[in-house]
Amino acid sequence: MKQLTIFKHIEKRQLAVFAIGLLLPLSAVGQSSDGEQIKRGEYLSRAANCMGCHTTRGGEPYAGGRILKTPFGEFVTPNITPDDETGLGRWSNEDFWQALHSGKARDGSYLYPVFPYTEYTKITREDADAMFAYLRSLKAVAQTNPPHKINSPYDNQFLLFLWRTWYFKEGVYEADHSKSDEWNRGNYLVQGLGHCNACHTPRNVWGAPQDSKLAGGEIMGTYWYAPSLISPLEAGVGEWSTEEIVKLLSAGINSHAVTSGPMATIVRQSLQYLSPEDMYAMAVYLQSIGEKRNGEDVPKKIPPMPERVSKYLALGKPVYEKHCQSCHGTSGEGVPGVYPSLAGNRTVTMASPHNTIRSVLYGGYPPATAGNPRPYGMPPFQHIIRDNEIAWVVSYIRNTWGNFGSLVSPEEVDSSRGNEF
């Protein structure tokens, strides 16, 4: 009897929905569905940070024109607004899917992997269609961007065909059913939509990602190093709680670390807008791939320094005391939540000194986020202290207060200069 009553309630609800449907024009029903798809596409495009690459500084959103410098030439991001002549106005869902999934342009030519289709291929067709629906809903911007400047012989489609044959594996993400739903969602976001491998994976001389995914690598054309997301000596978070990981990714700062440079931009433009569920999923996945420390990771005792090394480090001490100590403390302890500690800071001691050098040159600016709306930033010092002094002070903080890292030369400081991200 109870089941019959429930059935009657369901039947009445269905009749009500049917009656409302009769009162609405078919176009209105379709618009509601389209609106939901566009809203989802906006969220997915934000998660993929499409605007980050397809917008120049001060330019129209998604109209392209940003120059990406690589060892193979200069690539200019295209206009992806729905303009018929200069954008995606004449593209179909299939054209867009072909670009994301197969790395091919509308005319069938091969796209260069500076567009991360090597990761986007994992995106589902449903998500790709939603992203395209959102891009189609944008204001059309008539903007013709300059052509790529690709160095010879890399401007050859046959060579690009060979590159794809060797290094590109097409395929939508397949869930690992031995893992949780959260882990699989996090894997999809990190490896596919978020295309973290594009920066955090080492590359060979041909610009192809190596097998050691997320093991860290130089970001082409930016003079920044994207640290390993696996190693506990770099940016691995295997020993952190999921709450700490979520806070760093969403606010750009937690009790352990502060994001800066390109990663701060990613947090500001993209990650802080993800849903709590997706942030948690990413944290679960990143925590699972992060290695834990063991006794061999950190030297139990720092070896004695040769006299010439001690003298070199001594040159950095007065520079630190004059320019750094007032914020970072006499012992590099910093101020929690305000100025990062330099003692035991993995960013300071990791193998590549580029990020520390860049922060001294151009300043360190955590992102302004909802979770950290008024971040404290470090001013640039390139106009105050010389390259040799920067080399001294970076060497000093990499080898003081228990830190242990390589020395930095003025030549390395000079080579770290370049266009700011």
331 CB-near residues (< 8 Å, 6+ apart):
343, 401
Q: Take residue 388 and report the two structure tokens written for it.
A: 């040799």
Average pLDDT over residues 112-140: 97
In the chain, the domains with their CATH numbers are 47-164 (no CATH), 181-289 (1.10.760), 307-415 (1.10.760.10)
Three-state SS at 60:
coil
Name the percent of the chain lying above pLDDT 70: 90
Interior angle at CA 13, CA 7 and CA 18, nearest 5? 125
Strand 224-226 versus strand 217-219 pairing type: antiparallel
At which residue do the structure tokens 């080898």 appear?
Answer: 399
**Of 42-56, 202-216, 329-343, where does the model show the most confidence?**
42-56
If pLDDT is split at 50, 70 and 90, which confidence band does 6 have?
very low
In DSSP notation, 108-142 reads SPBPPTTS-HHHHTTS-HHHHHHHHHHHHHSPP--
Q: What is the pTM of this model?
A: 0.87
- pLDDT band of residue 17 (cuts 50, 70, 90) is very low
pLDDT tens per residue, range 235-283 = 999 999 999 999 999 999 988 889 999 999 999 999 999 999 999 999 9
Confidence tier at 199 by pLDDT (50, 70, 90): very high
* Residues constituting the chain: 421
Per-residue pLDDT reduced to its tens digit, 140-195:
999 999 999 999 999 999 999 999 999 999 999 999 999 999 999 999 999 999 99
pLDDT value at 7 more than 80: no
pLDDT tens digits, 30-47: 455 799 999 999 999 999
CB count in 10 Å sphere of residue 411? 11
217, containing H or E segment = strand 217-219
- DSSP H helices in 148-275: 157-167, 181-188, 197-200, 242-251, 261-269
Mean residue pLDDT across the chain: 89
In which residue are the tokens 């109870």 written? 2
What span, in angstroms and rounded, lies between the C-alpha atoms of 417 and 385? 14
How far is 254 from 47, CA to CA, in rounded Å? Answer: 21
pLDDT at 304: 80
Per-residue pLDDT, averaged over 64-78, amounts to 95
Amino acid at 396: Y
The whole-number pLDDT of residue 256 equals 85
Between residues 4 and 165, which one has the greater pLDDT? 165
Which residues are paired to 55 by β-bridges? Answer: 64
User: 337 pLDDT band (50/70/90 cuts)?
Assistant: confident
The mean pLDDT value for 66-72 works out to 93
* Residue entry with tokens 């320094």: 305
